[in-house]
Amino acid sequence: MNIPSIATLESFKSINEESISINISSAKNSILPLLFASILHAGRTRFLIGDGATLVDVKIVIEILRSYGVEVSVEDGVVDIDASRIEANQTCPELCKKTRYSILALGALISRCGFSEVGLPGGCDLNRPIDFHLQALKSLGCEVSESEGGVRGKRVRPSENVVNLPYPSVGATLNAILCAAGAETRSGEPILIHNCATEPEIDDVIAYLGKIGISIRRKWRMIEVASSNRQVVDVVEHRPIYDRIEAGSYALAAAIFGIGVRLNNAPINLMSAVISILLQLGCKVNRDGGALIIDARQIDSDTAIRLCTEPYPGFPTDLQPILTVLCTTLNTAGVISDTVMPERTRFVDELVRLGADITVCNSEIVVKPKGREDKSHYPISVKATDLRGGMAVLLYALKNRVACNIDNYGYIKRGYSNVESIIESLGGGLQV
């Protein structure tokens, strides 16, 4: 999306001085698959992730890598990995069930070692099965089996030349790429993976894999993976992309609170769907070098939001809960349909407890304006149903000045590294 330079707009001078400044972190959804991708490199990797090193899920994945014999050290936002030695016969079920990204160890270990045994993934409960992952691995020549304790996989035959994903799932696309990187076809031709997800975090992983000598090419929803005799590079350094979901959350928060926000290191070119919503509301949006500046002090509150989440580059399902909160501040009912993750509506009950007027029918969320004014003098007990749902609850409570106790608050820390200081800058307080 074309956003003019800040230097060309006089009206942004004051908002640039008055806005809340937020530093966007490295993308969690890049960091986690990158950590598992490092298993494919029998040398050393250095990831420059800054504040991302403090995220709960990052710490969990680092412990999973260590359980497989990978040496990992973390200092000043730099993660150093030595994957020269790997033990693929560990399930580490207690660690794996703490994050859904743990399923990526399956494809990575098969690629590196020819077999793997991992615990079942957990993390945020969004009702996402792993059948697409397993189907892809079977097409790639693997024998896979599930049990109560985990998943086993073993390469038993050459890969098919063409692998068709039933849905452009981000996780299944990543697992297919990781597994295909160590596979060969009978003909020796490259493996073509069709119907892939197009999220930029996947391309970030592809960029890293290219640095370690794996030949991967993308043509929209088709990804070509070629087997190669790669040489081990002593140290590979990679800086993940910045977090478009974190940036999108705070961009929408600017509209929720009617304030100015400066988002430093925002991946502006990856945020067109969010910026489109802000412009629809009448917000002023501009860029200053690598920063995105949003002036939401005057918005059109009569705007009716009608939106359906879509795979990238459409509006992300991860921001659907935050957009729901934004709709509660408008004068006109909003309707949000989530066809990507239709089960992602459990947070709605928590917003209703806080006073919102929201109904859900199948995957359609209908948000009526304003809601009720809560007269309670005591904190209301609510819970973070998942990472983004937890942030939605937090923003709604702060916007409406409703005191609450948030159970499972740790979910929010899975994807927002400096949330306490940012909430404080918005006029709220958190006791953790």
Q: Which residues are catalytic?
A: 124
Query: What does the alpha-carbon distance between residue 117 and residue 179 come to, in Å, rounded to a whole number?
Result: 14
Q: Report the candidate in 166, 167, 164, 139 with the shortest Cα–Cα distance to residue 153.
A: 139
Query: What does the alpha-carbon distance between residue 261 and residue 243 come to, in Å, rounded to a whole number?
Result: 16
Q: Which SS3 state, helix, strand or coil, does residue 388 take?
A: helix
Helix (H) / strand (E) containing 360: strand 357-361
- Give me the half-sphere count of Cα atoms (radius 13 Å) on the Cβ side of residue 154: 5
Q: Are 51 and 418 in contact (CB under 8 A)?
A: yes
Cα 140 to chain centroid, rounded: 26
The tokens of 218 are what?
């993308």
Query: What does the alpha-carbon distance between residue 160 and residue 40 come to, in Å, rounded to a whole number?
Result: 21
Cα 176 to chain centroid, rounded: 18
Q: Report the candidate in 167, 227, 157 with the shortest Cα–Cα distance to residue 192.
A: 227
The tokens of 372 are what?
């009720």
Q: What share of the chain is helix, strand, coil (3-state, %, to 5)?
A: 40, 25, 40
Which residues lie below 8 Å from residue 190, measured CB to CB, with a gap of 6+?
215, 224, 225, 226, 227
Q: Are 169 and 205 in contact (CB under 8 A)?
A: no
Query: Could you please report the per-residue DSSP string of 261-310?
Result: EEEET--GGG-HHHHHHHHHTT-EEEEETTEEEEE-SS--TTPPPEEEE-
Q: Which SS3 state, helix, strand or coil, does residue 332 take?
A: coil
